[in-house]
A = this chain, B = another copy of it.
Amino acid sequence: MSTAEEFSATGSATEAPLMDAEALERRLREIGAARYHNLHPFHDLLHGGKLNRGQVQAWALNRYYYQSSIPIKDAVVLSRFRDRETRVEWRHRIEDHDGDRGSEGGIERWLKLTTGLGLDPDYVRSTEGILPATRFAVDAYVNFVRDHSPLEAIASSLTELFAPTIHEQRIAGMLEHYDFINPDVMVYFRRRLEQAPRDANFALNYVKAHATTPQMREDVCKALIFKTNVLWVQLDALYHAYVSGFPPPGAFVPAEH
């Protein structure tokens, strides 16, 4: 009989209870080291210059749905807190992504990338051509922060702890390898190099302070595992559709060049 023994190297109940905040942080970093999507084969292809323009288009098109859902997700997180201070702290995340009248935010920076790749911004905004798996994974993230505890909602953002490395690799790798990528369109990632560490530090300190029992610390770890799955599923779907070559009915098909 097959069993659950393989299930999780970092999140299963068979591991030692998390007795304090330091043990929690260690486990969170182990989860990132085992499950963050920098380990996904699609990222090796993307950063190593192994994709063609159509495949990079598909990645940017699908990732737009994730980017443009983040302020919605963060508004749901914000709505979970009765204390003003957490709301004020969390609000700047929405501002980072949405910008303001007369100033661009992360979503517009992402559209610079997709436009630079030759995609019509109206088509990108419509999200019509994205993979259904992208939509299901991203929507699952929005639903998660609504349906789980406020502590878990914050914990699910902790993938940002591991983001700076991947953004640095991406900026360097994509500029080096693709003649259709120039520094202007990479501004999203350069900006996130400043924003993500601040956000991640707040969230890490929050969960270390507010997860006060082993069970709560376990829930924090599970929220991070959930979020790594949200990211991983998106790359699995891109790989299957645009590297293995099985785009599902109705999804974006790159133009022939």
A64 touches B (CB below 8 Å): no
Task: Please measure, in the bound complex, the distance between the C-alpha atom of A246 and the C-alpha atom of B67, giving whole angstroms.
Answer: 25
A183 touches B (CB below 8 Å): no
Q: Decide yes or no: A133 and B3 within 8 Å by CB, A140-B139, A246-B41, A249-B228 being known contacts.
A: no
Q: Decide yes or no: A4 and B126 within 8 Å by CB, A239-B240, A239-B246, A240-B240 being known contacts.
A: yes
Q: Is the Cβ of B129 less than 8 Å from the Cβ of A6?
A: yes
Q: Is the Cβ of A255 less than 8 Å from the Cβ of B4?
A: no
A165 touches B (CB below 8 Å): no
Q: Which positions in A face B, CB cutoff 8 Å?
A: 1-4, 6-9, 11, 34-35, 39, 41, 57, 118-120, 123, 126, 128-129, 132-133, 135-137, 139-140, 143, 225, 228-230, 232-233, 236-237, 239-241, 244, 246, 248-250, 252-255
Q: Is the Cβ of A119 less than 8 Å from the Cβ of B2?
A: yes
Give the copy number. 2
Q: Decide yes or no: A7 and B128 within 8 Å by CB, A136-B233, A140-B139, A236-B240 being known contacts.
A: yes
Q: Is the Cβ of A232 less than 8 Å from the Cβ of B254?
A: no
User: Which residues of B have CB within 8 Å of A233?
Assistant: 132-133, 136, 237, 248
User: Which residues of B have CB within 8 Å of A240?
Assistant: 236-237, 239-240, 244
Q: Is the Cβ of B129 less than 8 Å from the Cβ of A4?
A: yes
Residue in B closest to A243 when the chains form the complex, CB atoms: B244
Q: Is the Cβ of B129 less than 8 Å from the Cβ of A237?
A: no
> Which of B4, B8, B119 touches A1 (beta carbons < 8 Å)?
B119
Q: Decide yes or no: A246 and B252 within 8 Å by CB, A120-B2, A129-B4, A140-B140 being known contacts.
A: no
User: Which residues of B have CB within 8 Å of A236?
Assistant: 133, 237, 240-241, 246, 248
Sort A-B residue pairs by CB-CB distance and give the 5 closest, nearest first.
A132-B229, A136-B136, A240-B240, A1-B120, A136-B140
Q: Is the Cβ of A123 less than 8 Å from the Cβ of B3?
A: yes
Q: Decide yes or no: A254 and B2 within 8 Å by CB, A236-B246, A249-B232 being known contacts.
A: yes
Chain B: minimal CB distance from A224 (Å):
12
> Which of B120, B237, B250, B253 touches A225 (beta carbons < 8 Å)?
B250
User: Which residues of B have CB within 8 Å of A11?
Assistant: 250
Task: Please measure, in the bound complex, the distance between the C-alpha atom of A249 and the C-alpha atom of B118, giving whole angstroms.
Answer: 34
Q: Is the Cβ of A4 less than 8 Å from the Cβ of B249?
A: no
Task: Please measure, in the bound complex, the distance between the C-alpha atom of A225 and the C-alpha atom of B135, giving whole angstroms.
Answer: 14
